[in-house]
Structures are given as C-alpha cells and as structure tokens.
Amino acid sequence: MSDAAPLIAVDILTGFLGSGKTTLIRRLVEGGCLRDTAILVNEFAALPLDQRLIALSGGSARVVGNGCICCVVDGSVRDALIDLAERRASDEIPPFSRVLIETSGIADPAGLVATLALDRRLKPRFRPGRVVTLIDLVEDETPIEAISPEALSQIVCADLIVLSKADLAPAASPDAIMRRVTGLNPLSQIVVDDGLLDPFDRTAFPEAPGRPQPGRSFIAAPAAPRHDAIRSGVLRIAGPVDWQAFATWLSLLAHRHGGKLLRLKGTLTLSGGDGRPVLVQSVRHIVHRPEHLPADSAPDGLELVVILRDLEPALLQRSLEAFLRAGRVPALSATG
Ligand SMILES: Nc1nc2c(ncn2[C@@H]2O[C@H](COP(=O)(O)OP(=O)(O)OP(=O)(O)O)[C@@H](O)[C@H]2O)c(=O)[nH]1
C-alpha cells in the first residue's frame, strides 16, 4: 500500500445483546449498502451464528476474536485488520473502502475506538469511522445501562444512536428513552429505525465538522472486562425436537427467568418438519418470531447459544432435557 492511499474508515456497530445488530447488517447487505465494506463480526459465544446468518443474506463476514471484543482488541482484532489491509493490497480479496465491525452485545467499544485511533500499526492504514449504537425500544423495567456497564459505554461512545424494534415498542417509549439517552450522551444524534435506515450512509448522516471526531472524546483506557457474572454456553440436543414442547419451555423460561436469560439464539430441526432448520431467538423476557432457514444451513438437532447472568448453562441444559422428557419446566435450582 502506498503512503498516499486514503485511510480506510472502520465503523463500529455495537449495542446490547439482541438489540438488532445482525438484523441490521443483513438488511444492509440485502439492500446492497455494504458492497464496498469488509465485515468483521465478534461474538461472545462459541458458535459463529451471526456469520452464518449474514452469509444467508448474501454477505460475507469474518469472525474475529474468541470472546468479547473488549477483551481481544489488541490481539485478534488488530491482526484481522492488518491481514485485511495486506490481502486487499495484494488483490487477494476484492477491494473495499471501509470496514464494519459488529461487536458482541456485551462489549465495551471504548478500547476498540482507542486502538483504532492510537495503534502504531493500524494508524497508517485505518482511521476510526463512526460508532453506531443500537438500543432496543422493547425494554424491560431495568434500563440496559443499569444491567451492564458495557451497555453504558456503548451509549457513551456512540456517534449515532439508532432506536431499534420500533414496530414492537409501546407508542410512548421513544421519547422517554431518547431523553434518558441524551442525558448520557448529549453529543450523539439519535434516530428511530424506520426499517429503511442506513446509519453508515455519510450522505444521510454526515460527519459533523464541528463535533469531536469519533472516539476523540472517549479515548481512555478501557475498563477491565467485567463479564464475571455472565456465562455463555451452547445447549445441544441430538436429533429433531418437538416444536410445541420446545416453544413452551422457551416461553416459560423467558417469562420466569428473563432477567437472567440475557440472550438465547440458535437453530433446531423439528420432528415431523420438512427438514429446514428453525432459527429461534430470545432477548431477556421477549421471545422473537422464529424464522425458517434454508435446508442444510444448520446442523441437525438443536444447538442454542445462551448468554446468562448468575445462571449456569449446564442447569439450562438439564432443564431443557427434563422438560422435553416430562413436559414441564423444572425449577432452576442448583440441583436442576
Ligand atoms: N420485530 C422486530 N424484531 C427485530 C428487529 N430487529 C431485530 N429483531 C429481532 O431481534 C432478535 C435479535 O436480533 P439480532 O439482530 O440477532 O440482535 P444482535 O444485536 O445481533 O444480537 P447479539 O449479536 O446476540 O447481541 C432477532 O430475533 C431479530 O429478528 C425489529 O426491528 N423488529
């Protein structure tokens, strides 16, 4: 790469668990808005599910880091960016003019922003782009910034805040959430997602010259990762699963234990079904609409990523197995 080559903007898409980051990327890919963009996806959990979903939308994303981006930013994220730049320079991959990083839902993006601005090896090739933070309008009683310090940092770091899932939100909620979020980050623009929005479109959302450049106002050593109480794991059941029994288990679980069940997503094949896997997702107390995926796009049986607070994945595995056997949700006690 010559010295005169323009710096590549690295945009960051962040937002708490289940706020709609992958859904937005899939929509932008399908709408052709990310044609010139290299996509990097970081997941807290062990399965590259978001990468698979982006591929089903016709995009190609590379997974970075095994764990939260705030914990791996100086290692695998930096290496992935350097590798991208080198492969682009040697024509190994199609040219791209920007990079989009989807952080995991419990990542503190401050460290990534600081690394992009300051890292000696990244600075000659990349520049910090914009930080877009999604906030789910379907909130529990507890605001997300009270659930996790990472969620607070996601709001504070944002250049543009997008309020997602407006179709599911009670009519009054955008105003209340907007006021709260403006109090936390008065510099950020806030918009409600209308289903068509492209928050990375520089024409619709120019980088305001009078504002501090992205990241400049928040270059600080990232807080030590604080995921202590948060566990992730993968629940597995071999072979097809009865949909009625599974759906009942999930809705009872989300209803009773949604405060601890921060996120659940994955696929299952159904007994008596047509073989197509079903994508199921829940975000705290809300179970989202399941989606049929094309045949052979996911493993047979059930494979679910769970991200839990103060709850062990093994306990959920036992609960699911017992429910599928007995048709009821056993108490989530230590004895399972
Ligand atoms: N009704 C509705 N559902 C949405 C919308 N956006 C996302 N969802 C659903 O919300 C769930 C979570 O969306 P994702 O896009 O996977 O969220 P995410 O932020 O990528 O999740 P993590 O990577 O786990 O943090 C999925 O079931 C989506 O279908 C929306 O605008 N309206």
Both tokens of 26, joined, read 């899939």
For residue 19, report the distance from its CA to the centre of ligand 1, in Å.
Answer: 5
For residue 162, report the distance from its CA to the centre of ligand 1, in Å.
Answer: 13
Going by alpha carbons, the residue nearest to atom 32 of ligand 1 is 165
Going by alpha carbons, the residue nearest to atom 14 of ligand 1 is 20
Residues with CB under 6 A from ligand 1: 15, 17-23, 50, 105, 164-165, 167-168, 263, 265, 281, 283, 288
For residue 131, report the distance from its CA to the centre of ligand 1, in Å.
Answer: 18
List Cα–Cα distances, 259 to 1, 46, 263, 312, in angstroms: 49, 22, 10, 14
pLDDT at 68: 62
Atom of ligand 1 nearest to the CA of 307: 24
**Dist CA 316 CA 111 (whole Å):** 33
List Cα–Cα distances, 252 to 158, 248, 258, 327, in angstroms: 35, 6, 9, 12
Going by alpha carbons, the residue nearest to atom 21 of ligand 1 is 18
Please say whether the dihedral angle defined by the alpha carbons of residues 185, 186, 187 and 189, taken in this order, is positive or negative.
positive
pLDDT (tens, 9 = 90+) of the chain, 336 residues, equals 445 678 999 999 999 999 999 999 999 999 999 999 999 998 777 778 888 888 888 888 888 866 666 666 667 888 889 999 999 889 888 889 999 999 989 888 988 888 888 889 999 999 999 999 999 998 777 888 888 889 999 999 999 999 999 999 876 678 888 999 999 998 899 999 999 999 999 999 887 544 444 444 444 444 455 666 788 889 999 999 999 999 999 999 999 999 899 999 999 999 998 989 999 999 999 999 999 999 999 989 999 999 898 899 999 999 999 989 876 555 665 443
> Which class in CATH covers the domain with range 230-326?
alpha beta
Please say whether the dihedral angle defined by the alpha carbons of residues 204, 208, 213 and 215, taken in this order, is positive or negative.
negative
For residue 104, report the distance from its CA to the centre of ligand 1, in Å.
Answer: 13
Both tokens of 111, joined, read 């460290």
For residue 291, report the distance from its CA to the centre of ligand 1, in Å.
Answer: 12
Going by alpha carbons, the residue nearest to atom 2 of ligand 1 is 165
For residue 316, report the distance from its CA to the centre of ligand 1, in Å.
Answer: 22
Q: What angle do CA 243, 244, 248 make, to 5 degrees?
A: 115
Going by alpha carbons, the residue nearest to atom 13 of ligand 1 is 20
Got the DSSP string for 315-335? HHHHHHHHHHHHSS-----TT
By most ligand atoms within 8 Å of CB, the mutation choice from 193, 232, 288 for ligand 1 is: 288
Going by alpha carbons, the residue nearest to atom 11 of ligand 1 is 18
pLDDT at 328: 55
For residue 20, report the distance from its CA to the centre of ligand 1, in Å.
Answer: 3
Residue type at 214 in one-letter notation: P
Radius of gyration of the chain from its Cα atoms, rounded to whole angstroms:
20
Going by alpha carbons, the residue nearest to atom 6 of ligand 1 is 20
Please state the pTM of the whole predicted model: 0.87
Nearest CA to 317 out of 276, 273, 266, 279 is that of 266
Nearest CA to 109 out of 208, 218, 206 is that of 218
Across 189-214, b (16+ Cβ under 10 Å) vs e yields: bbbbbeeebebbeeeebeeeeeeeeb
> How is domain 8-218 classified at the architecture level of CATH?
3-Layer(aba) Sandwich (3.40)
For residue 21, report the distance from its CA to the centre of ligand 1, in Å.
Answer: 7
List Cα–Cα distances, 237 to 243, 250, 258, 269, in angstroms: 13, 14, 22, 10
Atom of ligand 1 nearest to the CA of 279: 27
pLDDT at 67: 64
Name the packing angle between helices 313-326 and 243-257 (round to 10°).
Answer: 130
Going by alpha carbons, the residue nearest to atom 5 of ligand 1 is 165
For residue 332, report the distance from its CA to the centre of ligand 1, in Å.
Answer: 26
pLDDT at 212: 44
Q: Phi first, then psi: give them for residue 253, nearest 5 degrees.
A: -65, -45
**Dist CA 251 CA 246 (whole Å):** 9
According to CATH, where is 3.30.1220.10 located in the chain?
230-326
According to CATH, where is 3.40.50.300 located in the chain?
8-218
- Residue 29 and residue 58 in contact, taking contact as beta carbons nearer than 8 Å: yes
Residue type at 260 in one-letter notation: K
**Dist CA 107 CA 155 (whole Å):** 12
